Every structure is written in C-alpha cells, then in structure tokens.
Amino acid sequence: MGTVPRLVSVLVACAAVLRPARAPATGSMTVLFQDDFERGLSARWVERGFPSIARKNVFSRGVEPGGNHYLRVTSEDSYSGKGLYLRFSVERCPTVRWRWVVSNVVAAGDLRHRDGDDAAAKFYVVFAGPSWWNPLDKRVLVYLWDNAAAKGTILPNAWMPDRARMIVLESGRAAVGGWVTEHVDLAADFARAFPGERPGRVEGVAFLADTDNTHSQVWAGLDDLEIRCTRGGSGAPR
C-alpha cells in the first residue's frame, strides 16, 4: 500500500488538534520546535494508521540504560505514523535536525517498486502543493534509512511519483544499533527533488517504520528533533 497517501491522512487529522510552538532564540537561529522526549511523549504527537491495514505500529517512550528517553516505534508487518502539525516556511526555517537509531534494515526493501516500499525508519515532511483547490495535492520529502541504495539517492515514490520523493540519508547495516545524527536543509533538498518548483509551506512532519509490504520486523527510535529558523522570522503563520 502507498505510504504517502497514508501520511497525508495522518497530518490532515493532526491539523485539527495541533498548533505550532516556538522556543527562544539560540545563537543566530530561532528554534521553531524541539522535542527530546525527556518530559514524556507529548499529546502533540498524534498517531494515525490507514483503514485498510489492520496491523499498526506500536509507539512508546523508549529509555536507554543511561536514562535518555526517545520516541520508539516497533513495526511488524505493520504501518502507522506519529505526526506533528507544524506550519512554517522553509525559506525562513530550512534547518531540521534529529537523531535516529534502527535495530536492522528491511532487507527485502526496494524503493523502486510498490511491493518494496518499506524502510526501517522514515521521516516525512509534507508541503502544501501547487493546487489551491485540491487538499491532497501535496509535495512530500521522505527521508529514510534504506537497506541498499546509496546515501544521497533521490527517487520518485513508487506510489506517487509526481508528488513525493524518497531521500536516502542512511543505508545498509554499518550503523545499525547506534544513534546517527541527521542535519537537513529542507529548501535545498526540495530544490533537488522538485526542480523548478517553489516549495509551499510545510504542513507537518511524521516519524514511522514501514514493514507492511515486505512483511518484515524492525524497531526504530527518534530523538532530539529540532526545527530552526534564520533570525528575522519564525516562519509560523501570524
């Protein structure tokens, strides 16, 4: 089943109950949003699945031996995501940083085909699309931890090739089991993924593991999520 249509549904549902949050300025940047899960799993994170998929992922607040907390997802032939409604401009708020860890890669995954559209960890960013009248005409960047594709690979999503792009940040088993820090520039990545298009406002982000197509099993963790804006504007609507 296509994960991009599902994620759009997740974030549309989240929009009814979530609102952007701003934190104090840090250095030359303003922090639009951050969460390290040390104060619990906030109600801002809303889980949604898809009606045709009976098995959902299991989300929890994980804890490491040293006491660090994180958002944990366990996926076994299942799909669902934890999403945040955050509306902002990538021209003002281009920088997103997070750490993630996976227990393994999805060995049978193959991003080129619909029946292989699974990965150990995915981080979605959903943008408003060019059609003002169609609420599902979105643009989506999917950052993921793949099993084989080279880091930096950008591929059309097999289910929505015109609307979504898969960006491989990590690949293979070399870093499995250890935390890896990611630092992405949404504006630059959007320009590479959708040449000639101008990004609409971000409408939400989501984290998940995806194993329903390949009938696989994996767990993944997300921690220290931070979205930063350049000084002079938060990017959030007034």
Residue 238 counted as domain residue: no
Residue 165 counted as domain residue: yes
**146 bridge partner residues:** 171
18 in helix, strand or coil? coil
Q: What would the pLDDT profile of 44-86 be if each residue is shown by its tens digit?
A: 999 987 776 778 999 999 999 999 999 999 999 999 999 999 9
| Phi, psi dihedral angles at 207 (to 5 degrees) | -125, 140
Residues 6+ apart with CB under 8 A from 123: 98, 100, 142, 143, 144, 182, 205, 206, 207, 222
Residue 235 counted as domain residue: no
DSSP class of residue 155 equals E
Residue 236 counted as domain residue: no
E-strand stretches of 115-216: 119-127, 139-146, 154-156, 164-171, 180-185, 202-210
Residue 211 counted as domain residue: yes
Residue 48 counted as domain residue: yes
Q: 7: pLDDT confidence band, cut at 50, 70 and 90?
A: low
| Phi, psi dihedral angles at 169 (to 5 degrees) | -95, -40
Q: What would the pLDDT profile of 171-211 be if each residue is shown by its tens digit?
A: 999 999 999 999 999 999 999 999 999 999 999 999 999 99
Is-contact 125 209, C-beta < 8 A?
no
The pLDDT score that the predictor gives to residue 58 is 97
SS3 content of the chain, % helix, strand, coil (to 5): 10, 40, 50
CATH of the domain at 136: 2.60.120.260
**Structural domain of residue 113, as residue ranges?**
3-230
